[in-house]
Structure 1
């Protein structure tokens, strides 16, 4: 926090004139402080306490209270440089460990879904095997559906000879039975596929 001014040439000239003036009866302590200030080389530091004494003197002598600003016309606040305390080496080491740990966790989180066994952009042999198994399962499902429908048609056609004597009636009943079985098989197949797709 600022506690003093760095005064310029205007202050030095006005204070010199004030000290040289025999009519000015400056208090002894203020005179000594001002003389000591003038003896110092640049930059000249004027403390707030000395500035207050000078202002009080100017007010007591009938000068306007604002006259002090004329003395400090080319002056500016002296802001002391803040000295940072040295950091504790144990604390620095702990912070570095924590930062390394957090960076490692972030890296693991970002690379969690990366497959390190991938050989090229097309995938590995395991991916190819999974695709072959899924195609195989689809072919087996279609073949199973066709066999079921054909078997239902054949059973209905052969079994209907005990009910119908005409071939047309036997074929119609076999088609109806095969259609019912086919629709039931499709329903079961769709429900199974929905269940597989719904799994996480």
Structure 2
């Protein structure tokens, strides 16, 4: 994130002797900090202009506040003419070579999904088989279809709940081993 900018020639001239900021009577501390920042040359890594004069946003805010308090006719945007925001180079962290085996990770994920699909399929088949078995077997007890369907739904629900209980206990056991 940008926190400074490269001072342009207009700001450097304004801070110099006889510059535009001289009649503004800047506080000694602010003037010293600005002159130190403008006078200090930082190495510009890939800049074709060579060394850069980096001035922090805090100093410019302080300068702007002072100019505003004094009711100056000198505007900050005029002083910053020719200046550029300094964006520091983003350093990318080196790649971690431990996680190079993406196919191994993919294999684990495929096995996990495969186990989940088989479990869901097994659940559906078990509940459907319980329903069909009860429906067909109840024809010897009940003569009405509504009674047979109700009995089959009750038995399928009980079998489904039992199956869910067993799945939860198995998953709880697997998570406990991690």
Q: Which has the higher contact order (CA 8 A, sep 6+)?
A: 2
* TM-score bucket of the superposed structures, by smaller chain: 0.3 to 0.5
Q: TM-score, normalization: structure 1?
A: 0.43
Q: TM-score, normalization: structure 2?
A: 0.48
